[in-house]
């Protein structure tokens, strides 16, 4: 031991073991029950109450991972994981994350590690090109992209920038004096409600606009609500529309909403956290028609683009709004590059100061797969979802609740809500697959989210078989 530190030699040795461990894990992941079977407290009681006084060998830690931690893991990377939303990973992303840990740089300013900033700018422009985002979102134009931890942080950044824009940056200085109102649909992700609360707008000033039969925001109701609010002395300032809602994958009519926002001078944020990745393929881009009317857009490579959590990509059409909202320059961070105005300092583009070198893992992913490799996998997931949806439509016992635009299938057994939940719980407890549910139009709906890195037709066929066989058994009980 070198004054307690792990030496480079030990790191080399233990690190290789850990890489082997991870590779083994992926080879064997289907052998585990997908949903962890432990009871509350079961993991904690196996962990000592007090920390060790003397350091312990790495082998012992790794053994405890196998013995204590693994039973408490729900295997998100299993090809039989169909719950909630994807959080798919890939080996290039894991290696990129490892390299980021290894370099251990802080990329808050250009000057604190120029490569961290410039690689991020380049990769975000690549992605803008890959998704065919409007010109304004490129760093070479008025806007640009920045990597955030999550879509929740992007929503908050958008709400804050919108607040500052509408108050001419007096919100930052004097607090919010006006009665601001924001608009979402009844199906918008809860992170926007949270952002509105945190930004001091107040939840009472968030209007949840009703949706149509496809669960998409109804633009005429939005226009009417804005009119009423203005009449009552409110100041409308922000709208969030979604490409692929979490619950049902609904796509809001971006162009119509965008035209309202343009007429009314409101900030439009487009949340593509879960399904924005589909824009990689030209055949899905019609869903984003009207995106040039938006002020900001985000999607999560950490959901459906083989990039380990966390990685949310956030673009704005005018970076000055963002920078004016978040910029702050204490003496100890003053430097020539910043003063020259020639560089981006990404700490001015979000809430936190310190930032990880996240663009490395994205760069590795994009270079490993290439644009066509990513398109191949997105199309494969959508095809599998369509196959599953077709089986549902053909079955006399199940119904399709919405026709899937992407890779999420919403369906239900044509029995009671209780029957559907019982069916799902029974299957999930078996550990063979894991899927989840939601409520749409007051009814329990089952969800199959098909997007894990190693999911193939085999697992999807088996899942359908398991669901139909279990339903039959329960019906006969
Ligand atoms: C998952 C999701 C979010 C929140 O994502 P985080 O990155 O975990 O904050 C927001 N919006 C939509 C549509 C989502 O699916």
240 CA from centroid of ligand 1 (Å): 13
Does some domain include residue 114? yes
Give the pair of three-digit tokens for residue 351. 């809430």
Give the pair of three-digit tokens for residue 186. 């009844």
User: Read out DSSP for 318-352?
Assistant: -HHHHHHHH----GGG--HHHHHT-S--GGGGSS-
Nearest residue to 256 (alpha-carbon basis) of 218, 283, 286: 218
Among protein residues, the one whose CA lies closest to atom 2 of ligand 1:
273
pLDDT digits (tens, 9 = 90+) for 153-193: 999 999 999 999 999 888 888 888 889 999 999 999 999 99
User: What pLDDT does 449 receive?
Assistant: 98
- The answer to whether 242 touches 185, Cβ cutoff 8 Å, is yes
Please state the atom number of ligand 1 nearest to the C-alpha of residue 188.
Answer: 13
Residue 80 CB less than 6 A away from ligand 1: no
Does some domain include residue 38? no
- The answer to whether 257 touches 297, Cβ cutoff 8 Å, is no
Residue 187 CB less than 6 A away from ligand 1: no
Residue 307 CB less than 6 A away from ligand 1: no
Does some domain include residue 335? yes
Residue 136 CB less than 6 A away from ligand 1: no
Does some domain include residue 432? no
Residue 152 CB less than 6 A away from ligand 1: yes
pTM given for the model: 0.96
Does some domain include residue 128? yes
- Work out the number of other CB atoms within 10 angstroms of the CB of residue 244: 27
Residue 150 CB less than 6 A away from ligand 1: yes
Give the pair of three-digit tokens for residue 56. 């312990």
152 CA from centroid of ligand 1 (Å): 6
Helix axes 319-326, 151-166, angle to 10 degrees: 90
Give the pair of three-digit tokens for residue 114. 């120029």
Peptide bond into 310 cis (omega under 30): yes
- As for how many domains the chain has, the answer is 1
Instruction: Report the distance separating Cα 382 and Cα 260, nearest Å.
Output: 31
Residue 359 CB less than 6 A away from ligand 1: no
253 CA from centroid of ligand 1 (Å): 19
Give the pair of three-digit tokens for residue 362. 């994205």
Residue 242 CB less than 6 A away from ligand 1: yes
2 CA from centroid of ligand 1 (Å): 44
Does some domain include residue 26? no
Instruction: Report the distance separating Cα 192 and Cα 354, nearest Å.
Output: 23
CA angle 263–129–449, rounded 5-degree value: 85
Please state the atom number of ligand 1 nearest to the C-alpha of residue 274.
Answer: 15
Nearest residue to 434 (alpha-carbon basis) of 73, 89, 187: 73
Residue 85 CB less than 6 A away from ligand 1: yes
Mutate to test the pocket of ligand 1, among 189, 314, 438 (most ligand atoms within 8 A of CB): 189
Write the CATH number for 206. Answer: 3.40.640.10
Does some domain include residue 465? no
Query: 320 in helix, strand or coil?
Result: helix
Residue 267 CB less than 6 A away from ligand 1: no
User: Please, which residues bridge with residue 2 across strands?
Assistant: 5
Q: Running DSSP on this structure, what letter comes out for residue 7?
A: P
414 CA from centroid of ligand 1 (Å): 30
Residue 154 CB less than 6 A away from ligand 1: no
Q: Which domain holds residue 244?
A: 105-356
309 CA from centroid of ligand 1 (Å): 12
Residue 274 CB less than 6 A away from ligand 1: yes
User: What pLDDT does 112 receive?
Assistant: 94
CA quadruple 360, 361, 364, 369: dihedral, nearest 10: -150
Does some domain include residue 415? no
User: What pLDDT does 2 receive?
Assistant: 60
Residues of the chain below pLDDT 70: 1-2
Residue 304 CB less than 6 A away from ligand 1: no
Instruction: Report the distance separating Cα 449 and Cα 451, nearest Å.
Output: 6
Mutate to test the pocket of ligand 1, among 76, 188, 191, 287 (most ligand atoms within 8 A of CB): 191
Query: Please, how many CA atoms are within 13 Å of residue 421, restricted to the half-sphere of its CB?
Result: 7
Among protein residues, the one whose CA lies closest to atom 12 of ligand 1:
273
Mutate to test the pocket of ligand 1, among 157, 247, 274 (most ligand atoms within 8 A of CB): 274
Strand ranges inside 68-164, DSSP E: 144-148
Per DSSP bridges, beta strands 235-242 and 206-209 are: unpaired
Instruction: Report the distance separating Cα 118 and Cα 101, nearest Å.
Output: 18
């Amino acid at each position: 031991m070198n004054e307690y530190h792990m030496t480079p030699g030990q790191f080399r040795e233990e690190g290789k073991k850990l890489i082997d461990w991870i590779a083994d894990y992926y080879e064997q992941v289907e052998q585990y029950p997908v949903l962890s079977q432990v009871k509350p407290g079961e993991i904690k009681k196996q962990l000592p109450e007090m920390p060790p006084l003397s350091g312990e060998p790495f082998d012992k830690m790794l053994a405890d991972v196998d013995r204590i931690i693994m039973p408490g893991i729900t295997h998100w990377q299993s090809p039989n994981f169909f719950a909630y939303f994807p959080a798919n990973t890939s080996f290039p992303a894991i290696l990129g994350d490892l390299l980021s840990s290894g370099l251990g740089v802080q990329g808050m300013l250009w000057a604190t590690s120029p490569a961290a900033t410039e690689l991020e700018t380049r990769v975000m422009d690549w992605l803008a090109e890959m998704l065919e985002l409007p010109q304004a979102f490129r760093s070479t134009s008025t806007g640009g992209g920045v990597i955030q931890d999550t879509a929740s942080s992007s929503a908050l950044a958008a709400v804050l920038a919108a607040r500052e824009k509408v108050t001419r940056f007096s919100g930052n200085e004097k607090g919010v004096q006006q009665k601001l109102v924001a608009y979402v649909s009844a199906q918008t992700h809860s992170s926007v409600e949270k952002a509105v609360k945190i930004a001091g707008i107040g939840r009472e000033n968030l209007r949840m606009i009703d949706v149509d039969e496809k669960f998409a925001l109804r633009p005429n109701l939005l226009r009417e609500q804005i009119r009423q609010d203005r009449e009552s002395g409110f100041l409308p300032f922000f709208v969030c529309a979604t490409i692929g809602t979490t619950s049902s994958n609904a796509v809001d009519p971006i162009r119509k909403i965008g035209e309202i926002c343009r007429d009314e001078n409101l900030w439009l944020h487009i949340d593509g956290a879960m399904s924005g990745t589909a824009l990689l393929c030209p055949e899905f881009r019609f869903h984003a028609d009207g995106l040039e009317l938006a002020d900001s857009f985000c999607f999560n490579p950490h959901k459906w683009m083989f990039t380990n959590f966390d990685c949310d990509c956030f673009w704005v059409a005018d970076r000055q709004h963002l920078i004016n909202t978040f910029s702050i320059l204490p003496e100890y961070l003053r430097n020539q590059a910043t003063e020259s105005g020639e560089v981006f300092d990404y700490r001015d583009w979000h809430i936190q100061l310190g930032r990880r070198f996240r663009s490395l893992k994205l760069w590795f992913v994009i270079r490993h797969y290439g644009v066509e490799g990513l398109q191949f996998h997105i199309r494969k997931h959508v095809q599998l979802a369509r196959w599953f949806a077709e089986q549902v439509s053909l079955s006399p016992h199940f119904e399709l609740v919405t026709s899937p635009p992407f890779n999420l299938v919403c369906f239900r057994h044509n029995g009671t809500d209780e029957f559907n939940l019982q069916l799902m719980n029974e299957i999930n407890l078996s550990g063979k697959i894991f899927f989840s549910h939601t409520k749409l139009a007051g009814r329990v709906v089952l969800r199959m989210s098909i997007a894990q890195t190693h999911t193939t037709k085999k697992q999807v066929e088996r899942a359908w078989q398991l669901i139909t066989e279990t339903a039959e058994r329960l019906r006969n009980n």
